[in-house]
Structure 1
Amino acid sequence: MESYRERLWPAPWIALVAALAIPASLLTFAPVSILAGAVVGVILAGGVIAAAVVSAPLIVVGEGMLRAGTARIPLAVIAGTSVARREEARAARGPQLDARAHLVLRPDIDPVLRIDLADPDDPTPYWVVSTRRPEELAAAIEAGRTS
């Protein structure tokens, strides 16, 4: 049974950015055909939006496992979690980041949850996961670890 589930959908402004492909294509194809430019622009914008939606990672806590994107780890090897927002989150994603850490990040989601690991055989010291509900994710991980 899942105690936590979150899909990291892209922010709505991604659609606005993707829509910029339409006027760019119109300008590019204007000497040839305005209709061709509009069609190519709509196809490009739709493709960007579809790629953003399809690639949205899923975070699930359940059945003794944490799944974030395509990676999974048993809850038993999690040593602890810590929530970071704003400047702390920026530092966790950048200057303080260990190159061996596993990352599941979305640039448009500010809060991150750092998940420390206690497995001596795993070279990955911790995970950094973007989440819109970091406290709920941390609570679900803790509840899964203690049950």
Structure 2
Amino acid sequence: MLLMVGLLAAELHMGHPGVRSWLPYVLLMPLGVVLLVWLGRVRVAVDADGPGARELRAGPAHLPVSQIGRVDVVTGEAKREALGPQLDPEAFVLHRPWVGPVVRIEVIDPDDPTPYWVVSTRRPEELLAALR
């Protein structure tokens, strides 16, 4: 994204001396950064839909807390393994590479084909506490 914005600013810069030469960079680069941050935001939270009905929301997906089994925080080399060779093709994955830890959430619903979720979060301990 930043490379595309830089190229667009360079095209607008070509042939314009003075103030107009650096103006595209000043205007377009921050706009590109804001757009990247906005596109990279994904909400991971435990919400209450009604009386006694709580559910985990991760981006567009949701899972009732009553259907959640074991929950583990995975970091470092174990994260690479969990997202690589050990990953089940039917698992729900919401991974953002710039976020360190992931949380592996077992789904105990027998009617759900998804065996578990793997969700990136900056505050895994808070998510674990909210799921308990």
- Fold shared, TM-score > 0.5 on shorter chain: yes
Which of 27, 31, 35 does residue 42 from structure 1 map onto?
Answer: 27
Deviation at 1:104, TM superposition (A): 1.5
CA distance in 2, matches of 1:26, 1:52: 20
Report the CA distance between 1:85 and its aligned residue.
0.6
Q: State the 1:141 CA deviation.
A: 0.7
Secondary structure of residue in 2 paired with 1:61: strand
8 Å CA contact 1:25, 1:37 repeated in 2:
no
For 1:42, the aligned partner's letter is L
String of CA shifts for 1:37-79, please: whole Å, max 9, x gaps: 7427733651452243254111111321111111111001111
Q: With a CA cutoff of 8 Å and minimum separation of 6, indicate the structure with the bigger relative contact order.
A: 1
Q: CA deviation at 1:108?
A: 0.3
Note if contact 1:21-1:45 (Cα within 8 Å) is conserved in structure 2: no
- Partner amino acid for 1:106? R
Equivalent pair of 2:45/2:58 in contact (CA under 8 Å): yes
Q: Unmatched 5+ residue regions in structure 1? A: 1-16, 143-147
> Could you tell me the percent identity over the aligned residues?
38
Normalising by the residue count of structure 1, what TM-score does the alignment of the two structures yield? Answer: 0.70
Single out whichever of 51-60 and 98-107 deviates more from structure 2: 51-60
* Preserved contact between residue 19 and residue 45 of structure 1 (Cα < 8 Å): no
Could you tell me which of 116, 128, 132 is aligned with 1:126?
Answer: 116
Alignment partner for residue 84 of structure 1, among 74, 79, 102?
74
Determine which of 90, 99, 110 is the counterpart of 2:100: 110
Residue 34 of structure 2 aligns to a residue in which SS? Answer: helix
Which shifted more, 90-99 or 78-87?
A: 90-99
Runs ≥4 residues deviating over 6 A? none
Correspondent of 1:71 among 57, 61, 70: 61
State yes or no: 1:95 paired with 2:85.
yes
1:18 and 1:45 in contact (8 A); partners too = no
User: What residue is the counterpart of 1:62 in the other structure?
Assistant: 47
Instruction: Say whether the 8 Å CA contact 2:99–2:121 is kept in structure 1.
Output: yes
